[in-house]
A = this chain, B = another copy of it.
Amino acid sequence: MASKHPDAPELSPTVVIGAGLIGASIGCALTGAGVDVRLRDRYRSHAVVAAGIGAGSVGTPLATTVRLVVVAVPPAVVAPTVARALSHYRNAVVTDVASVKQPVLADLEAMGTDLGRYVGSHPMAGSEFSGPLTASPRLFADRTWVIADGTGSPEAVRRVEQLIGICGARLVRLAPADHDRAVAEISHVPQIMSSLTAARLADAPPEDLRLAGQGVRDVTRIAGSDPGLWRQIITGNRAEITTQLRAIRDDLDRVIDGLDDVRTVGELIARGRAGAAALPGKHGRRSDKALERVVVEIPDAPGALARLFVDIMGQGVNVEDLSIEHGQDREVGYLSIAVEAEQAQDLRETMDAKGWSLRE
């Protein structure tokens, strides 16, 4: 990363406002590519921490020389921060990374801001962590980064494309309204559904939760996310979310009224199955290979998984996916290995011959 990216001069200096996980990760990616990055944060200590992990420096650049400003502040304060950046850095392109695009644009228009130098964008990345200490220059590698179509002049858009290219992300162009509908569908509404499901568990007798298996854990995993961030994201996209939640409420009412009728329930399950199957598979396309799972018991001890993988390596199979399950009482785990269906039987036989105990 020490050598300079060809686009680095055109982006230097870049100011990153907001040194949280996203801002600091962008800073690290740009700095690694040779861009001169200046970090700003409401709390200067955050900017100092981010600088300490290689996200840039804390010094203030000459405002008129700044080429790009990345606004990575909490959703609720994005629009005013963008407006101030546009007026302070008079020659810079300003982009934001907020997860909802129409309200920011509407707020900026209401303020009478000249939007030729503003490009709305949204990197679809994050993690269960937050804050600059967990930042990584590779946070956006192979992730989708949306540019809101119709924002910014062609030259301004070009500069944000350079940013996205340096971060290693996959560019998708979407009209702001289409973006906001899409993120409601695939992110905000699933988040609310996960929270609604998990909220019932908070009221359940604790002894009932002993029966919990993997299914409920999957459904409620994202319910563990940061409440402060999510309530801003959700209220920011409330128009789209309201429409979709009303449709879900209609479906829910139909199910509640139709629980006596296997057809109503069967219809919902079948629609859900179709929806789950419509999600693109890995590498962004629908899965075109039939996969099968081989489940092997592994001792819950250092090195056991490694020995298992050494045996799999002897096979030369391509592991498509894997997951670990744990038993509840004994110190035992199961490794579920997904391989192409035609390789599964061979793998089972090899594992069996090597003395591994198979479950399925």
A residues within 8 Å of B by Cβ? 124, 127-129, 134, 136, 138-139, 141-144, 146, 170, 172, 178, 181-183, 185-187, 189-213, 215-225, 227-228, 230-232, 234-235, 238, 241-242, 244-249, 251-253, 255-256, 259-263, 265-266, 268-280, 282-284, 293, 297, 300-303, 305-310, 312-313, 316-319, 321-324, 326-332, 357-360
Residue of B at shortest CB range from A253? B249
CB atoms of B313 and A303 under 8 A apart? yes
The answer to whether B193 and A219 touch across the interface, beta carbons within 8 angstroms, is yes
Given A256-B249, A283-B331, A313-B306, CB of A221 within 8 Å of CB of B224: no
CA A357 to CA B142, docked complex, whole Å? 14
**Bound Cα distance from A206 to B212, whole angstroms:** 33
- CB–CB A326/B280 < 8 A: no
Closest 6 CB pairs of A and B: A142-B327, A195-B272, A306-B313, A201-B275, A309-B309, A198-B275
**Contact, CB under 8 Å: A279 / B245:** no
Which residues of chain B are within 8 angstroms of A195 by Cβ–Cβ distance?
268-269, 271-273
A261 and B236 alpha carbons, distance in the complex (Å):
10
Copy count, this protein chain: 2
A189 and B199 within 8 A (CB): no
User: Using Cβ atoms and an 8 Å threshold, which residues of chain B touch A223?
Assistant: 269, 272-273, 275-276
A279 adjacent to B316 (CB under 8 Å): no
Contact between A230 and B136, CB atoms less than 8 A apart: no
Contact A198 B276 (CB under 8 A): yes
Interfacial chain B residues near A127, Cβ < 8 Å: 360
> Does B261 contact A225, Cβ atoms closer than 8 Å?
no
Count chain B CB atoms within 10 A of each CB in A136, A222, A232, A272 and give the residue with the most.
A272
A318 cross-chain contacts in B, Cβ below 8 A: 300-302
Residue in A141, A190, A265, A268 with the greatest tally of chain B CB atoms within 10 Å: A190
A2 CB, min distance to chain B CBs, angstroms: 15
B residues near A313, Cβ cutoff 8 Å: 303, 306-307, 310
